[in-house]
Structure 1
Amino acid sequence: MAEHWLLLDIGNTHTVAGLFQPDRHRVAEVRFRTDPQCTADEYRMQLRQLFSDALGRNVWEMADRAIVSTVVPALEATVAKACDAVPLLSINARLRRDFELDLPHPEQLGADRLCNVAGALSLVGAPMLIVDAGTATTFCLVDDRQAYVGGAIVPGLDTSWRALQARAAKLFSVELTRPDNAVGNTTELQIQSGVLQGYEALIEGMADRLLRDAGFGQATLIATGGCTRLIRLSDRFRMEPDLTLLGLFRYGQLNG
């Protein structure tokens, strides 16, 4: 029977879980809201139920190992206990990888960003700029040595939108649907334009500044993250929604 790897990308807002075979074949993928108060038993049962709905089988009878990236410290021990039936690999800067960390404090780099770089390098060559649009939007620069040299972090689209609602009493809640025209002629359209098209401009403009200041002549631009479903970036960005899972998979290959 083929081996299966359970890959867990635990973000601040959502968790993406994928069941992969070692030839990179994705068997199933599920997504659910991250709950830092979740117990190990609840976490184990949630994964069992979601994968049962997707596959009709108990994921804990299929998984041979678990590979985890989390940016939620409160869940690290919980997830480790939930996955105690299988060998667990937790992503950190000390593991074997395909790239260097040209940073003064490499241990500070988040596990999700480590996975994004690993995933991107499994798809294309360096140099590259990786944008992950989630609770925070992160930018990662990898030079032609395959060395991560830095980047930037800005508040995510949904984070900024919620902050605006909380601080601006006269703005009402609207559905975040992207208007095709940046010029809104109603308050609702102006909010949609400012939040969504404004965020597109932020990503495009920040990408230009980072590439310029890093001295990159040419680079592959890759975008991932849940908020990319709401915005429209230029054709120079390669969209890779499963990038973090691919990075988890690559770490699993290198750290068997």
Structure 2
Amino acid sequence: MNLIIDVGNTRVKVAVFESGKIVEVFIFQKEKIIENLKKIFQDFFIEHSIISSVASFTDKEIVEIDKLLTPLFLNSETKVPFKNKYDTPKTLGVDRIALAAAAVNQYPNENVLVIDAGTCITYEFISKNKEYLGGAISPGIKMRYKALNAYTSKLPLLERSKIDGFIGSNTNDSIHSGVINGVCNEIKGLINQYTSEYKDLTVVLTGGDTKFLEEQLKSVIFAQPNFILEGLHTILIYNLADD
């Protein structure tokens, strides 16, 4: 079995893979990573592992993790199954690297646009020639709500909410309309931009807001909430094959 660990700024998402398939997924707070990893090791026979982290570990956490796992830490130098044509490859986030790996593995010989809707919304484009060309980064849904509250004196801080139309008849509805319609139209607009140049485009939606946006967009996309985990597993297997 392989253990795939995706560490965000506050949350950790972990998947146990067996024979290339996800057996179980765990989500917990970053400060409890060692405690939870020890529990997972008690329940599963883990042979190999990989860690992708956008957050920093303490020295103590690194020592404890190494005792448990001796994992592959994903970074810009890690071997990947695609050609990275980003102008500044060392600044490319590990989460974006994992998404590109998942795209070339699951949709070989296709042009793929991966939309990761989380804290930020990232757009990753991978060509049918297995070339990662880049994409875009914009504020996520929660960040947009927070910005409206933080940078004004009177607008309230709201949680995301489904909308049925586009005309807000009160302040709260107007905020919801601005944020949700703004995000949905941004996504649709970018998909149209890519489609105009790449006719045979496959679009994948992933990230924490996947289910919410899938219902709001009502468009032809492949929703895969665990796409980063799948990509990390792809990278792990790719590197193990080279050993």
**TM bucket, shorter chain:** 0.7 to 0.9
Aligned partner of 1:140 in structure 2 is 124
The 3-state SS of whatever aligns with 1:255 is helix
Q: RMSD in angstroms over aligned alpha carbons?
A: 2.2
The structure 2 residue matched to 1:62, chosen from 39, 42, 45, is 45
CA distances 1:112-134 after superposition (whole Å, capped 9, x unpaired) = 11111111222213211111111
**Offset, 1:110:** 1.1
**Offset, 1:62:** 2.9
2:31 is the counterpart of 1:44: no
Alignment of structure 1 residues 6-17 onto 2, 5 Å: 6-17=3-14
**Offset, 1:11:** 2.1
With over 3 angstroms needed to count, the CA separation of the structure-2 counterparts of 1:76 and 1:95, relative to structure 1, is farther
The answer to whether the Cα contact below 8 Å between 2:145 and 2:157 also exists between their aligned partners in 1 is no
| In structure 1, distance between residues paired with 2:192 and 2:107 | 20
With over 3 angstroms needed to count, the CA separation of the structure-2 counterparts of 1:220 and 1:138, relative to structure 1, is same
CA distances 1:58-108 after superposition (whole Å, capped 9, x unpaired) = 25x632232111112x22756533322222111123333221011232222
**Offset, 1:181:** 1.6
| In structure 1, distance between residues paired with 2:58 and 2:50 | 12
Deviates more, 1:231-240 or 1:141-150: 231-240
| In structure 1, distance between residues paired with 2:60 and 2:133 | 32
CA distances 1:20-79 after superposition (whole Å, capped 9, x unpaired) = 11x123221111244xxx4xxx42113445x5xxxxx725x632232111112x227565
CA distances 1:139-183 after superposition (whole Å, capped 9, x unpaired) = 111112110011111122111211111122222233321112222
The answer to whether the Cα contact below 8 Å between 2:148 and 2:157 also exists between their aligned partners in 1 is no
Aligned partner of 1:101 in structure 2 is 84
| In structure 1, distance between residues paired with 2:70 and 2:101 | 21
The 3-state SS of whatever aligns with 1:94 is coil
The answer to whether the Cα contact below 8 Å between 2:142 and 2:159 also exists between their aligned partners in 1 is no
Runs ≥4 residues deviating over 6 A: none
**Offset, 1:211:** 4.7
2:156 is the counterpart of 1:172: yes
How many residues align? The count is: 236
Report percent identity of matched pairs. Answer: 27
Per the normalisation by structure 1, the TM-score is 0.83
Aligned partner of 1:218 in structure 2 is 200
The 3-state SS of whatever aligns with 1:230 is helix
| In structure 1, distance between residues paired with 2:156 and 2:5 | 36
| In structure 2, distance between residues paired with 1:203 and 1:76 | 37
Equivalent position amino acid for 2:107 in 1: V
Q: Which runs of 5+ in 2 are unaligned?
A: none
The answer to whether the Cα contact below 8 Å between 1:223 and 1:237 also exists between their aligned partners in 2 is yes
Aligned partner of 2:17 in structure 1 is 20
The structure 1 residue matched to 2:113, chosen from 129, 148, 159, is 129
Q: Which runs of 5+ in 1 are unaligned?
A: 52-56
With over 3 angstroms needed to count, the CA separation of the structure-2 counterparts of 1:79 and 1:160, relative to structure 1, is farther
With over 3 angstroms needed to count, the CA separation of the structure-2 counterparts of 1:25 and 1:217, relative to structure 1, is closer
The answer to whether the Cα contact below 8 Å between 2:12 and 2:33 also exists between their aligned partners in 1 is no
Aligned partner of 1:202 in structure 2 is 186
| In structure 1, distance between residues paired with 2:137 and 2:212 | 19
